[in-house]
Amino acid sequence: MSVLTREEAQTRAQFLDVHRYTIDLDLTAGEETFDSRTVIHFTATAAGDTFVELKPATLRSISLDGQPLDPADLVENRFPLTALTPGAHELHIDAAMSYSRTGEGMHRFTDPTDGETYVYTQLFMEDVQRVFAAFDQPDLKSVFELGVTAPEGWTVLGNGIAEHRGDGHWTLAPTPLISTYLVAVAVGPWHSVTTEHAGLPFGIHCRRSLAPHLDADADEILDITRACFDRFHEKFDEPYPFDSYDQAFVPEFNAGAMENPGLVTFRDEFVFRSAVTDTERQTRGMVIAHEMAHMWFGDLVTLAWWDDIWLNESFAEYMGYQTLAEATRFTDTWVDFGVARKGWGYDADQRPSTHPVAPDPAAVPDTASAMLNFDGISYAKGASALRQLVAWLGEKDFLAGINTHFARHKFANATLADFIDNLASATDRDVHAWADAWLRTTGVDTLTSRVEESDGTWTLGIDHNGSRPHRIAVGAYDHAPDIHPHNGTERLVLRERFEIDVPPGNTPHPRPGRRPALLVLNDGDLGYAKIRLDAHSWETVLTGLSGIPDALTRAVVWNTARDMVRDGELAPTTYLEAARTHLPHETDLALAQGVLAFADTHIAGRYLTPEHRPAALATLTALCRDLIRRTEDGHNPGLRLIAVRHFIDAATQPDTIQDWLTNGTVPGGPELDPELRWRILTRLAVLGATDEATITAELEQDPSATGREGAARCRAALPTPEAKATAWHALFNDDSLSNYLFTATAQGFWQPEQADLVRSYVPRYYPEATRLAARRGPAIADAAGRYAYPAYAVDTDNLNLGEQALSDKALIPALHRKLTDQIDDLRRALTVRNTH
């Protein structure tokens, strides 16, 4: 397949004006293909040649201005349009298109619970070509008119209000000018909850089998939607630019969500069918707010080329967290950002694959390279930079610049230069210099505190390893005169918090009084930098971390400890000891989840040698037992649920969790819902304490889509040669697994407890994953690199194999990027092991 280059896109944008697409999709043609008929009205500004993109199963006919063209002229995904004359043209295309099972293009899913079928589009980057013919680039915006023929009983959702004309024929209201990648339909026997707000129809939709679960949360979802909608209208001068607002929770979705104007699609795991924590509800709320922010930044104003994808994602990420905190009951969103997202950005920014938030255009020459930039830098680092910018400019000036940006470029495209110029128009500060320092550089600065004390004063010095300017808060904490009233641990109180600017170099900051017991740089987590504490402060942390009064400050300190472990500066066992000491007293759910996840996945799973893994797991199970005991009175069910989940994952003996499964409950609660049952069964499979018959019986009790994924995960985790051979064949040779079943099987395959059993598969992984990615494309390549990679094998043999594989010319970019990151993480894990 030919990928679109930036140069080609610029040439075509100068040559064409695209006015209108009229698209008819017939979804009644069978289970493998659907019919797609497209008419494109466009104008050529000069005489010349161009091309239109499509990826059909069969191209039946194509004509230009009434003259038939030869379908055989289609080469890969391009059909040439030669000798165009200046003026208006009309292109007609009739094709059969293939349904997808990988979440790309028009994805088709049949629900195993009730046999109902659903289809939906995901057209991002270049997948529109899998659904209809298009001049597929973001700066050729157009009006889209869609008609859909669907089976009787199905509902059609799209970018505009849908009207049923009878006999399964639906029409969608014409869109305003939008980019090709933002066109969307979602079709099937949806269960819907509808309302009206601000004069617009609002709706939420899911599969029928999930109806009771959506209904249970409908008020919460719609309340958040309305609150964020109203808050954005307080922030933005431009009103919401589309005619309706639907949110569809769709099956087997690859991303978290997609900002299609008027029809946001979400992965339907956000329709919770099992118990979740309040932090998980907050995450769903943040994604709702994030996607709504895109209606303005991304949909109303769209990037001109994919090097500016951060403009979409960083803005929506920042606005998602900030607006949710301002408009809803979820007021502590930035704690979750600090724990769950900030580390993602820090990690990505220290890998060989790092890139500037705003990469040089030359670094994004085509769509394949652009796809690689959807990472922790474009989301978490970019949002952190914007948060730092807002703190520096002030929110009033920031929003003034944003509103100027919307007014100047609405229903059009804009570049980074446009964005910076519009921000600069609202302030006297040098926004261009800020952009040079923050958006066009790579890496994470490190700020290390030094404290000297003499003659009734103490002086803060900051060693600044990096080049960016920082505006941060510094928190000075003292020991409280009493111990913590609830848990008997040391308590700390804030003496003062002051803000400083950190230029390159070392600037001393004298303060009156004795030195504080704990000095925290970046208190409040407004900055983007790794933090290192002075020795005295670190000693205080080891005894008093849980006594720090503010959760956001605790997040900064826990992230410091996490980064020190990754950098080989803190023994993994010391982190575990700190978790064992302080986590039983933690009240913030995001922090508890984040610390336990790092301790389980990274420390017990990778940073400690196999002989030390059992002791680490024993520490984690003991810690989780403490949390379970602490929550016996039912006052914190979210913390109890987190503890139960991690106890299951860390169990080294089957007895306790087998009793839970047999009895259907954890003593004192919670009762086991499907998620917990499959979680236990997966761990029992790893430990060799269950079998195929038990897995089959569980699947009969839960024949849902997630039940199928749970069974696939369990079967791949069984510690037998036959189970591993079957799973490997399904992953790398069968090609029939959907994207979600592929992921579930991969998650079950590699287990640290089964190192001897799976060792022979490690050298097979690299060539077979390379061939798989070439056959099945970027979505499966991403899953193969993310989930099917042998991360458990922390040894030089795996490292050498991986480094050799990176030189294979057959690696497609999506897999090459994933392997680059995995191998860097492997290299880091080996360093940690060799250091401690």
Please check whether residue 588 lies inside any domain of the structure.
no
| Location of structure tokens 């400019």 | 393
Final residue of a domain: which of 127, 160, 188?
188
Is 645 a member of any domain? no
Alpha-carbon dihedral of residues 266, 272, 276, 277, nearest 10 degrees?
40
pTM for the model: 0.97
Structural domain containing residue 788: 721-836
Measured on CA atoms in the order 660, 665, 669, 673, is the torsion positive or negative?
positive
pLDDT at 504 over 80: no
Helix (H) or strand (E) holding 187: strand 185-188
Beta strands in 503-586 (DSSP E): 509-512, 518-521, 530-532
Question: Which three-class secondary structure state does DSSP give residue 683?
Answer: helix
So what's the pLDDT on residue 484?
57
Provide the pLDDT for residue 508. Answer: 86
CA distance 267 to 263: 13
Number of domains making up the chain: 2
Q: What pLDDT does 158 receive? A: 98
Residues ≥6 apart with Cβ < 8 Å to 234: none
Give the per-residue pLDDT at 265.
98
Is 291 noted as a catalytic residue in this protein?
Answer: yes
For 152-205, the pLDDT digits (tens) are 999 999 999 999 999 999 999 999 999 999 999 999 999 999 999 999 999 999
Where is the domain boundary, 162, 188, 214?
A: 188
In a domain, 47, yes or no: yes
Of 255, 247, 190, 253, the residue nearest 220 (C-alpha): 247
Do residues 492 and 478 make contact, with C-beta atoms less than 8 angstroms apart? yes
CA distances from residue 196 to 202, 238, 288, 318, 570 in whole angstroms, order as listed: 5, 20, 17, 27, 54
Amino acid in the structure at residue 196: E
Phi, psi of 668 (to 5 degrees): 85, 0
**How many C-alpha atoms does 404 have within 13 Å on its Cβ side?**
16
Contacts 24+ apart (CB under 8 A), 319-323: 319/232, 319/289, 319/290, 319/293, 320/286, 320/287, 320/289, 320/290, 320/291, 320/293, 321/286, 321/289, 321/383, 322/387, 323/228, 323/231, 323/232, 323/235, 323/289, 323/293
Reference 541, options 549, 533, 529; nearest CA is 533
Residue 182 lies in a domain: yes
Residue 570 belongs to some domain of the structure: no
From 170, 188, 206, give the residue that closes a domain: 188
pLDDT score for 487: 55
The token pair that represents 136 in the structure block: 């597929």
Read off the CATH number of the domain in which 106 is found. 2.60.40.1730
Q: What is the pLDDT of residues 329-384, one digit of tens each?
A: 999 999 999 999 999 999 999 999 999 999 988 889 999 998 888 899 999 999 99
In a domain, 136, yes or no: yes
Helix and strand counts by DSSP (H, E) for the chain: 28, 28
**65-113: pLDDT as tens digits:** 999 999 999 999 999 999 999 999 999 999 999 999 999 999 999 999 9
Residue 5 lies in a domain: yes
With a cut of 70, say whether residue 613 has pLDDT above it: yes
pLDDT in the model for residue 483: 63
Q: Are 303 and 414 in contact (CB under 8 A)?
A: yes
Average pLDDT over the chain, rounded to whole?
96
Q: Which of 280, 291, 317, 586 is catalytic?
A: 291
Within a domain: residue 368?
A: no
Among 244, 249, 391, 370, CA closest to 311:
370
